[in-house]
Structures are given as structure tokens and as C-alpha cells.
């Protein structure tokens, strides 16, 4: 089992920045691909960004590319999502998730462990 706890969400004005953190406990953190998903009201949950075991490979949804940066610190069992130039359409609950697959998955079913989510609200 892997336990994931997100933090760092909040209310920010458009153009602002937030940094989300996800602390993991349980099994060896570096054995998991990590992802940040988000779910806006009335919409499906979607993958915003993902990062490989060692952090060398990353994935970004087109909607966040160039504005968001995912990173991880395996020594501290933590994954981060730096969000810059935030837009009202980035408003969502953001979830941290862990995948035991060696290839980076972009689908929800590829992730076995989930945090409870943190709310990000961007005002216009």
C-alpha cells in the first residue's frame, strides 16, 4: 500500500502561481510513476502531468504544457507540481496518484493509489 497526502492548494488570482506537494508513505516511493490528475466540476478526471521513477521523463497535457512543472524528490518521498500563469480553467480538485507500471500511463486505470485531493481555485 502507498498512502498519498496532497497539500498546497488554495485560491489564487489568474496569472498567479501555486505549488502542490504530495507526500508518500508505505512502499518504496521510487518504484512508482507519479501523476497529478485534476477534476473540474462536471468534467472527467484528467491527467495533468506525470513523472517517471527517477524523474528523467515527464508528460504534460497540452492544456498545461509550458505552465506546469512536475518534479519529485525520492529522498523525501515527495512529488511536486509547480503551477504558473494559472487560468480560471485550471480550477479543479487536484489528485496525486501512483502507478506501479513501468511505462508511463496516462489513463486513470493505470494508477493504483490516490490521494484525497486538494482544491485549486483560480479567480478571474
Per DSSP, the three-state class of 88 is: helix
Predicted local confidence at residue 27, as pLDDT: 81
First to last CA, the chain: 40
Residues of the chain with pLDDT under 50: none
Phi-psi region at 102: left, alpha or beta (left = phi > 0; alpha = psi -120 to 50): alpha
Predicted local confidence at residue 68, as pLDDT: 98
User: In terms of DSSP bridges, do strands 58-60 and 46-51 run parallel, antiparallel, or are they unpaired?
Assistant: antiparallel
Amino acid at each position: 500500500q502507498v498512502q498519498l497526502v496532497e497539500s498546497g492548494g488554495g485560491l489564487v488570482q489568474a496569472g498567479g502561481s501555486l505549488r502542490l506537494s504530495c507526500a508518500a508513505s508505505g512502499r518504496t516511493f521510487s518504484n512508482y510513476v507519479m501523476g497529478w490528475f485534476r477534476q473540474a466540476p462536471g468534467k472527467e478526471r484528467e491527467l495533468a502531468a506525470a513523472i517517471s521513477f527517477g524523474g528523467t521523463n515527464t508528460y504534460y497535457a497540452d492544456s498545461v504544457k509550458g505552465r506546469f512543472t512536475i518534479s519529485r524528490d525520492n529522498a523525501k518521498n515527495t512529488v511536486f507540481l509547480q503551477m504558473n500563469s494559472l487560468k480560471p480553467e485550471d480550477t479543479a480538485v487536484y489528485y496525486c496518484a501512483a502507478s506501479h507500471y513501468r511505462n508511463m500511463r496516462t489513463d486513470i486505470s493505470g494508477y493504483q493509489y490516490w490521494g484525497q485531493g486538494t482544491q485549486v481555485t483560480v479567480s478571474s
